[in-house]
C-alpha cells in the first residue's frame, strides 16, 4: 500500500545538503584545519559520504520508525555523525575531533562513539549480515513472548555496492531464506565504484537474481524524477543511457556537461538533437546526476511503498562524490578536497566563512521552519532501548557425576541438567550451531528444548517411528537455532543474539558450538562480535590432536593463541568436569555483567579420570587462569605446567618423577589468556597505582627463580611458553607445531611429544647444567 508522501520534500532536500556539507566539512576540518602533530594523513571519505547523504536523509528524517535499527556503511560514518549533530545528539566537539583520540570514530562504533550506533561497521559485509540475524533474534524474542509484536522494528543495512562482493552476505541470505527472515531493508548505494576503480558491469543483474532467488524483493531506483521524465521522451537516448558501462558513466559524471553533449552526439546522433537543444551543458550535467539515490521524491516513495515485512533490497543509483569536484572520478575513494575546492563548495552551499559548524547555516525564511519541524519529528521518532544487564540470576551449576568424563560430554550433561531444572536462565539460553549440534553434544538439550522455527516443523522420522536418539522437530517455542555449515553465520548469530539486551532490552544467553579448528573460518565475524561487545558463550569442541583418528584437517593447533590476542573473549580450557561447571557459571555471569565479556571454552572428547578434591580451594584459581593441582616445595627444581586434556599425562609424569625431583609441582593452567592479561595489567598498575602481583606471579613465586618449567598443552607451545618470562624461570615447552595426522592417542602423543617420556626428557633438559 502506498502511503501518501506527507513529509516536506523541500525540507528533506535541505537536510540532504546539510549532511553533505557537514560530513565533508568534518573530514576537511580533521585533515586541513585541526593541528596535526605527527604528520600522518588523518583521512576520511568525502566521496563515499556524499554518495549517501540523500538516502540517509530520507531514511533518518522520514522513514525510520522508533524500533528500527540501522547498520551504516562504514565510510558513511561522517553522515551518521552529521545526522546526530543536526538532531542534537552529537557534539560539535566530537566532530571537531573526528578520527582524533576520544572524538567521533572513523567508522560507526557501538562502543566508542557517543551517539547511538545500532551496529558497528568497518569490516565490510559484516554490518550487512548482522542485521539479518538481528531480525531473526527479534522473531525469536516475539515468538517466545519476551517482546511485544507491536515493538517490532525493521533492520536496515546501508551497503556500498562493492561490499556486495563479500561472500558472507550470501551465506547470510541463504540462512535467512531457510528461516523465512523478514523486516529487512538492505539499501545499496549503487555508485558503481569500489576503492580501486569502477565495479564490474556484468554483476549488476546477477545481484538481483541472487537476492530474488533467496526470497527477496528487489527494487531498483535508477532514475530520479527529472531524469526519468526526460528519458521517457527520448527512448533511444534512454536505451543508450541504460547501456552505458559503469566506467563510462563515472567518467562522464566527472567530466560533466560538455562531455555528455559530445558523447550523446557521437553515440545517439540525430534522435537526441532536440533533447540537446533543450539542455545547455549545465542542464545536462544536472539532469544526468538526477539518479534515484539522489532524488528525494524517488527515495521517499520507495521507502513508503516497502511497508510490508518482505525482505527488500533497494538498489539506489548514485554518484560517488555527488556534488563534489571529484564526483565520478575512479580514484575518489579516499580523495580529499583541497582548501580551495572546499571554499568553493562552501560558497556554493551558502555557508559563510567562520559559520561552517552552524546547524542550519544558509537555511533561511520559511524553509527553516519546515526543517526545524522535521528535525523535531525525527528526534521524537527515534527511541533507544535501555541496555539490559543484571536482570537474571545465574544459579549454581552443579558438576555432573561420573568418575571418568570428557569435558564435551560434561558440557552436554550440564545443559541437560539445566534444562530439566528449568528457571529463568534456562529459558533465556539460545543455542545455535552450524550443523554440528549432535557432534558437539548439544543433542540432549535440543531434545528437551526443541528447534526454533517460525512455523511448525514436524519430526518426520519420529512420526514414522524410526528409532533415533535425536528429536528433530521445530516450532516457535524452540530454543535452538540450527544453522547450515557456515561458521561466519554462527558468529554473526552469536553477535546478534549477544546484543539482545542492547537491541531489544531483553537478555539472552547465547551458546554457540563448533569444532575448534573451524573458529578460523569465521574469525573476522567472531572479532566483529567481540568488537561490538556482544555477549555469548562459544563452545569449541573437539580440539587439538586429542581427537585422534579424525586426523589433521580436524585438529586444531592455534586457537588458544587466537584467544590470547582477542579482546572481549575469555578463553577457558578445563581438564575436569567440575572446572567446566564453574567456568560455565562464570561465563553466564559475565554475559549479564555490564563489565563482563564473552567466553570461549575449548573442550575435548577425551574421557579422563576425574580428580578427587580435598576442598574447593582450586575453584578460585581455576577461574583466574590456573591453580596448583600438586603444590610444589619452595625449593623445587622444576614444575610441570599443563592445560586441558593432557592432564592425565602430566599427572602420571608427576607421579613418576616426584621421587627424583623433590617438591616437583604440577600447575594446572585453565586460561593462558587470563594469566597473561593479569600479568600485563599488574605491570601497568605498578606505574600507575600500587603494585599487586598478578595471579600467575603469585602462582610461580611458589617456586624458586632458578626452577624450570615444563609446559605442555594440546595446542601451539607458545600458548604457555611465555610463562618463563613472568619470573625469569627457564622453560621447556611441549605442544603441537605441525599439522597432525590420524592415529590413536598413544601414537599421536608419542609422535607429537605430549606423553610421559617427552615430559621426562623435557625435565632432564631443564636440569642439565647450562
Ligand X SMILES: Cc1ncc(C[n+]2csc(CCOP(=O)(O)OP(=O)(O)O)c2C)c(N)n1
Of 74 and 160, CB closest to Mg ion:
160
Select from 33, 195, 229, 344 the one that contacts ligand X (CB under 6 A).
195
**With 0-12 CB in 10 A as exposed, 13-18 as middle and 19+ as buried, what is 77?**
buried
Query: Looking at the DSSP assignment, which residues form a beta bridge with residue 429?
Result: 509
> What, of Mg ion, ligand X, none, does residue 28 touch, CB below 5 to 8 Å by kind?
none
- Give least dist CB 174 to ligand X, A: 20
> What, of ligand X, Mg ion, none, does residue 431 touch, CB below 5 to 8 Å by kind?
none
Select from 8, 171, 189, 586 the one that contacts ligand X (CB under 6 A).
189
Query: Looking at the DSSP assignment, which residues form a beta bridge with residue 538?
Result: 512, 600
Q: Does 75 bind ligand X (CB under 6 A)?
A: yes
Of 67 and 191, CB closest to Mg ion:
191
> What, of ligand X, Mg ion, none, does residue 449 touch, CB below 5 to 8 Å by kind?
none
Query: Looking at the DSSP assignment, which residues form a beta bridge with residue 157?
Result: 71, 186
628 to 667: interface string for ligand X, x by CB under 6 A:
----------------------------------------
Of 146 and 207, CB closest to ligand X:
207
Q: For 467-494, give the DSSP string.
A: --S----EETT--EEEE-S-HHHHHHHH
Contact (Cβ atoms closer than 8 angstroms) between residue 384 and residue 70: no
**CA-to-CA distance for 402 and 198, rounded, in angstroms?**
63
- Give least dist CB 162 to Mg ion, A: 5
181 to 210: interface string for Mg ion, x by CB under 5 A:
----------x-x-----------------
Q: Does 247 bind ligand X (CB under 6 A)?
A: no
Q: What is the dihedral of CA 357, 360, 363, 365, to 10 degrees?
A: -140
> What, of ligand X, Mg ion, none, does residue 708 touch, CB below 5 to 8 Å by kind?
none
**Pick from 632, 653, 564: nearest CA to 602:** 564
106 to 125: interface string for ligand X, x by CB under 6 A:
-----------------xx-
Of 191 and 604, CB closest to Mg ion:
191
Contact (Cβ atoms closer than 8 angstroms) between residue 163 and residue 128: yes
**CA-to-CA distance for 287 and 284, rounded, in angstroms?**
5
Select from 23, 26, 193, 406 the one that contacts ligand X (CB under 6 A).
193
Of 200 and 751, CB closest to Mg ion:
200
Binding to Mg ion (CB under 5 A): which residues in 134-173?
160-162
Per rule CB under 5 A, count of chain residues that contact Mg ion? 5
Grid cell of 436 as nine digits = 554440528
> What, of ligand X, Mg ion, none, does residue 460 touch, CB below 5 to 8 Å by kind?
none
- Give Cα separations from 738 to 190, 500, 741 (angstroms): 46, 40, 9
- Give least dist CB 165 to ligand X, A: 8
Select from 23, 135, 194, 312 the one that contacts ligand X (CB under 6 A).
194
> What, of Mg ion, ligand X, none, does residue 124 touch, CB below 5 to 8 Å by kind?
ligand X
Of 160 and 733, CB closest to Mg ion:
160
- Cβ contacts of 142-151, under 8 Å, gap ≥ 24: 143/452, 143/454, 143/476, 143/477, 144/427, 144/476, 144/477, 146/504, 146/506, 147/504, 147/506, 151/67
- Give least dist CB 21 to ligand X, A: 18
- Give least dist CB 60 to ligand X, A: 17
- Give least dist CB 22 to ligand X, A: 18
Binding to ligand X (CB under 6 A): which residues in 125-164?
160-163
For the beta carbon of residue 71, count every other beta carbon within 10 angstroms: 24
| 3-class secondary-structure state, position 667 | strand
Which residue's CB atom is positioned nearest to ligand X? 160
Of 289 and 719, CB closest to Mg ion:
289
Residue 396: partners with Cβ closer than 8 Å, 6 or more residues away: 585
- Give least dist CB 299 to ligand X, A: 16
**Pick from 136, 74, 82: nearest CA to 110:** 74
Stretch that binds ligand X, among 1-9, 189-197, 404-412, 491-499 (CB under 6 A): 189-197
- Give least dist CB 283 to ligand X, A: 27
Grid cell of 208 as nine digits = 538481483
- Give least dist CB 195 to ligand X, A: 4
Q: Does 329 bind ligand X (CB under 6 A)?
A: no
Q: For 504-545, give the DSSP string.
A: TS---EEEEEE-GGGGGGGHHHHHHHHHTT---EEEE-S-SG
Of 80 and 429, CB closest to Mg ion:
80
**CA-to-CA distance for 168 and 590, rounded, in angstroms?**
29
- Give least dist CB 750 to ligand X, A: 42
- Give least dist CB 759 to Mg ion, A: 57
Binding to ligand X (CB under 6 A): which residues in 163-182?
163
> What, of Mg ion, ligand X, none, does residue 392 touch, CB below 5 to 8 Å by kind?
none
> What, of ligand X, Mg ion, none, does residue 51 touch, CB below 5 to 8 Å by kind?
ligand X
Of 168 and 433, CB closest to ligand X:
168
Contact (Cβ atoms closer than 8 angstroms) between residue 643 and residue 715: yes
**CA-to-CA distance for 661 and 639, rounded, in angstroms?**
9
**CA-to-CA distance for 585 and 186, rounded, in angstroms?**
38
Of 194 and 256, CB closest to ligand X:
194
Q: Where are the beta strands (DSSP E) in 605-693?
A: 608-609, 626-630, 638-643, 665-669
- Give least dist CB 72 to ligand X, A: 11
- Give least dist CB 79 to Mg ion, A: 14
Residue 339: partners with Cβ closer than 8 Å, 6 or more residues away: 28, 32
Binding to ligand X (CB under 6 A): which residues in 12-71?
48, 51
Of 160 and 517, CB closest to Mg ion:
160
- Give Cα separations from 110 to 73, 116, 498, 601, 750 (angstroms): 14, 7, 13, 26, 48
Of 183 and 193, CB closest to Mg ion:
193
Q: Is 112 left (phi over 0), alpha (psi -120 to 50) or beta?
A: alpha
Select from 182, 320, 413, 630 the one that contacts ligand X (CB under 6 A).
320
> What, of ligand X, Mg ion, none, does residue 544 touch, CB below 5 to 8 Å by kind?
none
| 3-class secondary-structure state, position 351 | coil
Per rule CB under 6 A, count of chain residues that contact ligand X? 18
Residues across the chain: 770
- Residues binding Mg ion (CB under 5 A): 160-162, 191, 193
- Residues binding ligand X (CB under 6 A): 48, 51, 73-75, 123-124, 160-163, 189, 191, 193-195, 320, 333
Amino acid at each position: 500500500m502506498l502511503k501518501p508522501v506527507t513529509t516536506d520534500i523541500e525540507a528533506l532536500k535541505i537536510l540532504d545538503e546539510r549532511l553533505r556539507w557537514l560530513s565533508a566539512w568534518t573530514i576537511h576540518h580533521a585533515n586541513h584545519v585541526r593541528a596535526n602533530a605527527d604528520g600522518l594523513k588523518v583521512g576520511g571519505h568525502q566521496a563515499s559520504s556524499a554518495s549517501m547523504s540523500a538516502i540517509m536523509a530520507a531514511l533518518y528524517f522520514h522513514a525510520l520508525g522508533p524500533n528500527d535499527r540501522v547498520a551504516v556503511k562504514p565510510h558513511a560514518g561522517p553522515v551518521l555523525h552529521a545526522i546526530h549533530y543536526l538532531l542534537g545528539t552529537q557534539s560539535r566537539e566530537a566532530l571537531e575531533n573526528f578520527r582524533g583520540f576520544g572524538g567521533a570514530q572513523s567508522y560507526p562504533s557501538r562502543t566508542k562513539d557517543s551517539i547511538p550506533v545500532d551496529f558497528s561497521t568497518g569490516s565490510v559485509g559484516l554490518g550487512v549480515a548482522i542485521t539479518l540475524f538481528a531480525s531473526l533474534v527479534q522473531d525469536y524474542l516475539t515468538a517466545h513472548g519476551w517482546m511485544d509484536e507491536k515493538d517490532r522494528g525493521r533492520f536496515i543495512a546501508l551497503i556500498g555496492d562493492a561490499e556486495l562482493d563479500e561472500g558472507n552476505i550470501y551465506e547470510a541470505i541463504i540462512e535467512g531464506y531457510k528461516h523465512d527472515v523478514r523486516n529487512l531493508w538492505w539499501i545499496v548505494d549503487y555508485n558503481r565504484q569500489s576503492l580501486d576503480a569502477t565495479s564490474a558491469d556484468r554483476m549488476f543483474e546477477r545481484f538481483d537474481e541472487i537476492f530474488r532467488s533467496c526470497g527477496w524483493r528487489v527494487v531498483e531506483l535508477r532514475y530520479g524524477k527529472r531524469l526519468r521524465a526526460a528519458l521517457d521522451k527520448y527512448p533511444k537516448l534512454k536505451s543508450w543511457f541504460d547501456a552505458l558501462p559503469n566506467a563510462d558513466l563515472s567518467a562522464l559524471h566527472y567530466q560533466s556537461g560538455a562531455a555528455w553533449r559530445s558523447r550523446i552526439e557521437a553515440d545517439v546522433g540525430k534522435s537526441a538533437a532536440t533533447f540537446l537543444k533543450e539542455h545547455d551543458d549545465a542542464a545536462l550535467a544536472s539532469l544526468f546526476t538526477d539518479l534515484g539515490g539522489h532524488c528525494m521524491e524517488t527515495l521517499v516513495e520507495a521507502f513508503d511503498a516497502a511497508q510490508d515485512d518482505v525482505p527488500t533490497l533497494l538498489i539506489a543509483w548514485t554518484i560517488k562524490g555527488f556534488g563534489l569536484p571529484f564526483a565520478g572520478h575512479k580514484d575518489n575513494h579516499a580523495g580529499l578536497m583541497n582548501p580551495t575546492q572546499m571554499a568553493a563548495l562552501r560558497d556554493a552551499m551558502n555557508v559563510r566563512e567562520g559559520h561552517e559548524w552552524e546547524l542550519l547555516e544558509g537555511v533561511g525564511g520559511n524553509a527553516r521552519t519546515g526543517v526545524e519541524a522535521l528535525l523535531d519529528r525525527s528526534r521524537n521518532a527515534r527511541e533507544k532501548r535501555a541496555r539490559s544487564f543484571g536482570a537474571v540470576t545465574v544459579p549454581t551449576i552443579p558438576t555432573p557425576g561420573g568418575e571418568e568424563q570428557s569435558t564435551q560430554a560434561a558440557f552436554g550433561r550440564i545443559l541437560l541438567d539445566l534444562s530439566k531444572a528449568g528457571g529463568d536462565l534456562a529459558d533465556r539460553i539460545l543455542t545455535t550451531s552450524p550443523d554440528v549440534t549432535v557432534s558437539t553434544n548439544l543433542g540432549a538439550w535440543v531434545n528437551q528444548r526443541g528447534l526454533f522455527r517460525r512455523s511448525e516443523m514436524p519430526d518426520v522420522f519420529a512420526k514414522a517411528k524410526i528409532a533415533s536418539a535425536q528429536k528433530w522437530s521445530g516450532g516457535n517455542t524452540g530454543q535452538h537455532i540450527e544453522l547450515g555449515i557456515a561458521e561466519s553465520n554462527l558468529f554473526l548469530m552469536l553477535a546478534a543474539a549477544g546484543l539482545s539486551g542492547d537491541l531489544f532490552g531483553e537478555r539472552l544467553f547465547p551458546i554457540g558450538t563448533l569444532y575448534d579448528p573451524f573458529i578460523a573460518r569465521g574469525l573476522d565475524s567472531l572479532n566483529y562480535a567481540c568488537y561490538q561487545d556482544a555477549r555469548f558463550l562459544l563452545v569449541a569442541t573437539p580440539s587439538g590432536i586429542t581427537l585422534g583418528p579424525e586426523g589433521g584437517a580436524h585438529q586444531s593447533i592455534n586457537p588458544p593463541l587466537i584467544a590470547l590476542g582477542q579482546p572481549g573473549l575469555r578463553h577457558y580450557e578445563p581438564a575436569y568436569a567440575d572446572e567446566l561447571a564453574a567456568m560455565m557459571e562464570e561465563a553466564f555471569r559475565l554475559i549479564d555483567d555490564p563489565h563482563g565479556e564473552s567466553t570461549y571454552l575449548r573442550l575435548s572428547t577425551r574421557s579422563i579420570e576425574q580428580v578427587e578434591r580435598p576442598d574447593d580451594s582450586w575453584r578460585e584459581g581455576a577461574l583466574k587462569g590456573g591453580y596448583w593441582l600438586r603444590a610444589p616445595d619452595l625449593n623445587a627444581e622444576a614444575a610441570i605446567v599443563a592445560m586441558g586434556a593432557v592432564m592425565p599425562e602430566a599427572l602420571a609424569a608427576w607421579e613418576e618423577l616426584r621421587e627424583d625431583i623433590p617438591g616437583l609441582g604440577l600447575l594446572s593452567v585453565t586460561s593462558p589468556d587470563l594469566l597473561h592479561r593479569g600479568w600485563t595489567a599488574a605491570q601497568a598498575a605498578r606505574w600507575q597505582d600500587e603494585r599487586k602481583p598478578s595471579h600467575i606471579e603469585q602462582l610461580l613465586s611458589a617456586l624458586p627463580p632458578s626452577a624450570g618449567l615444563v609446559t605442555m598443552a594440546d595446542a601451539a607451545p607458545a600458548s604457555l611458553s611465555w610463562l618463563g618470562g613472568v619470573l625469569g624461570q627457564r622453560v621447556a615447552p611441549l605442544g603441537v607445531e605441525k599439522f597432525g595426522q590420524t592415529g590413536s592417542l598413544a601414537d599421536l602423543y608419542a609422535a607429537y611429544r605430549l606423553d610421559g617420556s617427552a615430559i621426562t626428557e623435557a625435565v632432564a633438559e631443564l636440569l642439565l647444567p647450562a
